[in-house]
Amino acid sequence: MTHPTAIPTLVTGRLTLCPPVMADFDAYAAFVTGPRTTWMGGPHTRQTAWAWFCNDVAQWHLCGMGGLIIRSADTAIGQVSLTHGPQFPEPELGWMLFDPTTEGTGYATEAATALRDWALGPRGLSTIVSYIDPANAPSIRLAERLGATRDESAPTPANMPTLVYRYHAGARP
Amino acid sequence: MTPILHSARLALGPATMPHFEAFAAFTATEGSRFLGGPGSRRDAWESVCTHAGQWTLRGYGTFWLTDRATDAPVGRVGLWHPDWLPEPELSWVIYTAHTRKGFATEAAATVLDWAHHAVGLPPLMSLIDPANAASIAVAERLGASLEGAHRYDSGREVGLWRHLPGGIR
User: What are the pLDDT digits (tens) for B98-148?
Assistant: 999 999 999 999 999 999 999 999 999 999 999 999 999 999 999 999 999
Distance from CA of A92 to the nearest CA of B (A): 16
What is residue A2's predicted lDDT score, i.e. its pLDDT?
45
Distance from CA of A70 to the nearest CA of B (A): 17
What is residue A173's predicted lDDT score, i.e. its pLDDT?
56
Q: CB neighbours of A126 closer than 8 A, spacing ≥ 6? A: A120, A168, A169
CB atoms within 10 A of CB A96: 21
Distance from CA of B42 to the nearest CA of A (A): 6
Chunked mean pLDDT (size 10), chain A, 173 residues:
70 96 95 86 90 92 93 95 90 94 92 97 96 93 96 90 92 58
Residues of A in contact with B56 (CB under 8 A): 7, 19-20, 57-58, 60-61
Give the mean model confidence (pLDDT) for residues B88-104: 96
Q: Cα dihedral sign for A3, A61, A7, A148?
A: positive
**Residue B82: closest CA among chain A residues belongs to which residue?**
A50
Confidence of residue B167 (pLDDT cuts 50, 70, 90): low
b vs e for A20-38, b when ≥16 Cβ sit within 10 Å of the residue's Cβ? beeebbebbbebbbeebbe
Give the mean model confidence (pLDDT) for residues B35-64: 92
Give the mean model confidence (pLDDT) for residues B146-160: 93
A132 bridge partner residues: A163
**Residue B48: closest CA among chain A residues belongs to which residue?**
A55
Q: What secondary structure letter does DSSP report for A17? A: E
Q: Cα dihedral sign for B46, B50, B56, B61?
A: negative
Is A55 in contact with B50 (Cβ distance < 8 A)? Answer: yes
What is residue B168's predicted lDDT score, i.e. its pLDDT?
59
Sheet with A163-168, edge to edge strand ranges:
A10-11, A16-18, A67-72, A75-83, A92-97, A127-132, A163-168, A149-150
**Residue B47: closest CA among chain A residues belongs to which residue?**
A51
What is residue A172's predicted lDDT score, i.e. its pLDDT?
55
* Cis peptide bond N-terminal to A43, omega within 30: yes
Round to whole Å and give the CA distance between A160 and A164.
11
Is 0.90 topped by the overall pTM?
no
What is residue A170's predicted lDDT score, i.e. its pLDDT?
76
Asked if B92 and B138 count as a contact pair (C-beta separation under 8 A), the reply is yes
Which residue of B20, B42, B50, B81 to mutate against A (max A Cβ within 10 Å)? Answer: B50
What is residue A39's predicted lDDT score, i.e. its pLDDT?
77
